[in-house]
């Protein structure tokens, strides 16, 4: 019996979907699942999710074994009959996961950045890896810019970051600080963390990383090196700030934002990013399917949070009004709470992206569980700047209407639909990446 057939039978019988290890194939030798890719995921989060899945499926003596190769490990459990069940995880950088899928040396790719068009083309024989079933957002992370704990600087903008890491700004004095020459620390070329920083900060401004930067495959080692160097600066995934100091970041006309959980959950923080599992549609492994389903479950998201990343669990949060907000938004923040999710759209489209489609279910569950489905929800749309402000206002409201259409199907009756146009940007409008982030829909509840 395949896992998919098993799930369907359980649903038809009205039983909870909790597969046991006996329902999944357990070959006598070799791993049941091979995961390759992101060090950000593979260092701790990936193994923790695998261990959680194994325990949920009734495996015994679940533990990790570390081979001689750095950034690789094996998660092992035992069936009731004493058969070893093994999952191999190699964490050498996001790009290595897609290479491994192509070479059939992995069943699941872990990535801390979206798949590139070139990778999508190279892997087309495996199916559409951008389809909703294949591209699975499992967590939200934020790239923290870290300094030595005693560095007095508290804020940098993305333009300054590009100048620092390209080597154009060479001393702390040029930034209004002190300490002499700036020492650069960066992840290695295979890293999704580096890919994200390169895309969001460097490439957008036509710059490249200075060759003098010290490169690291390990996130922990990079963070520890910066925290010991008074002249150091580096970028790192949120769980790896450790003993270093994170600074607030400004992008374009956005407010300065620290890498706080609430700002990363909504992806407003300028250096927030998504963490992915990519599951090949034409070469599915039942253990990979089970792991993806587990990662999206409430138990899986609890493991995400326990490992220092931001879970996609929907919660309500109070927002303090300030003078930089439009009056209508200030009034909203005084009477309602904002949910920790933003709906975003596919590039150049009014279609909700893959994460947004997952979030529809999460938001609906929250509204139903908290009795908020009858005129207690307001949707607020935003967009990027247009030459005609009235057009920006209209488009922002239309985006909110697109979310409304989906939730109305499940019986949600809305209090109000608002559009604030290009106000309150969270990213610079000078590049596609920033414009996409600014095109968003917030959910507020009374």
Residue 369: predicted pLDDT: 97
What CATH code would you report for 141-264? 3.40.190.10
Q: Give the burial class of 330: count Cβ atoms within 10 A of its Cβ; 0-12 exposed, 13-18 middle, 19 or more buried.
A: middle
Q: Are 178 and 151 in contact (CB under 8 A)?
A: no
Q: Where in the chain is the domain with CATH 3.40.190.10?
A: 3-134+279-306, 141-264
Tell me: the pLDDT tens digits for 383-406? 888 878 888 889 999 999 999 999
Tell me: the pLDDT tens digits for 315-371? 999 999 999 899 999 999 999 999 999 999 887 677 899 999 999 999 999 999 999
Q: Where in the chain is the domain with CATH 3.30.1330.60?
A: 314-445
Tell me: the pLDDT tens digits for 40-50? 899 899 999 99
What CATH code would you report for 314-445? 3.30.1330.60
The average pLDDT across 286-297 equals 97
Q: Are 235 and 143 in contact (CB under 8 A)?
A: yes
In percent, the amount of the chain with pLDDT more than 70 equals 95
Report whether pLDDT(3) > 90: no
Angle between helices 389-408 and 354-369 (to 10 degrees): 60
In the chain, the largest separation of any two C-alpha atoms, in whole Å, equals 69
Residue 349: count other Cβ atoms within 10 Å of its Cβ: 9
Residue 101: predicted pLDDT: 98
* Strand spans (E) along 18-166: 33-37, 60-65, 72-78, 84-90, 108-111, 135-147, 155-157
Residues facing residue 233 across a β-bridge: 147, 184
Quick one: CATH architecture of 3-134+279-306? 3-Layer(aba) Sandwich (3.40)
Closest Cα partner for 413 from 361, 442, 381, 371? 371
The pTM for the full model equals: 0.83
Report whether pLDDT(382) > 60: yes
């Amino acid at each position: 019996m395949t896992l998919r057939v098993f799930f369907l039978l359980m649903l038809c019988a009205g039983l909870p979907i909790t597969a046991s290890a006996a329902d999944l194939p357990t070959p006598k030798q070799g791993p049941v699942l091979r995961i390759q890719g992101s060090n950000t995921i593979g260092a701790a989060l990936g193994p923790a999710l695998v261990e959680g899945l194994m325990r949920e499926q009734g495996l015994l003596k679940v533990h990790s074994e570390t081979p001689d190769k750095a950034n690789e490990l094996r998660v092992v459990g035992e069936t009731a009959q004493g058969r070893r069940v093994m999952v191999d995880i190699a964490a050498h950088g996001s790009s290595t996961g897609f290479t491994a899928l192509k070479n059939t040396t992995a069943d699941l790719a872990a990535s801390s950045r979206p798949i590139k068009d070139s990778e999508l083309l190279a892997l087309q024989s495996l199916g559409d890896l951008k389809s909703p079933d294949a591209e699975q957002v499992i967590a939200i992370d934020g790239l923290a810019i870290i300094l030595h704990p005693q560095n007095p600087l508290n804020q940098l903008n993305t333009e300054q970051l590009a100048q620092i890491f390209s080597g154009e700004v060479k001393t702390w004095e040029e930034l209004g600080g002190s300490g002499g020459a700036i020492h650069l620390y960066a992840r290695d070329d295979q890293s999704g963390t580096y890919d994200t920083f390169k895309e969001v900060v460097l490439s957008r401004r036509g710059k490249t990383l200075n060759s003098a930067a010290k490169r690291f495959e390990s996130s922990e080692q990079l963070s520890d090196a910066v925290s010991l160097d008074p002249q150091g600066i580096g970028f790192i995934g949120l769980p790896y700030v450790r003993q270093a100091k994170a600074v607030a970041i400004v992008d374009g006309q956005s407010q300065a934002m620290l890498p706080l959980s609430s700002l990363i959950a909504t992806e407003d923080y300028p250096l927030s990013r998504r963490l992915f599992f990519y599951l090949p549609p034409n070469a599915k492994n039942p253990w990979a399917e089970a792991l993806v389903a587990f990662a999206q479950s409430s138990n899986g998201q609890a493991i995400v949070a326990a490992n220092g990343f931001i879970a996609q669990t929907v919660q309500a949060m109070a927002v303090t009004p300030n003078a930089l907000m439009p009056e209508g938004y200030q009034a909203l923040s005084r009477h309602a709470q904002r949910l920790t999710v933003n709906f975003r759209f596919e590039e150049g489209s009014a279609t909700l992206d893959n994460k947004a489609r997952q979030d529809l279910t999460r938001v609906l569950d929250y509204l139903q569980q908290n009795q908020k489905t009858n005129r207690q929800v307001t949707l607020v749309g935003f967009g990027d700047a247009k030459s005609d402000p009235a057009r920006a206002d209209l488009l922002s409201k239309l985006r909110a209407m697109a979310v409304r259409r989906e939730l109305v199907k499940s019986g949600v009756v809305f209090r109000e639909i608002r559009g604030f146009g290009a106000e309150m940007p969270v990213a610079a409008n000078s590049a596609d990446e920033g414009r996409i982030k600014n095109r968003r829909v917030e959910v507020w509840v009374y």
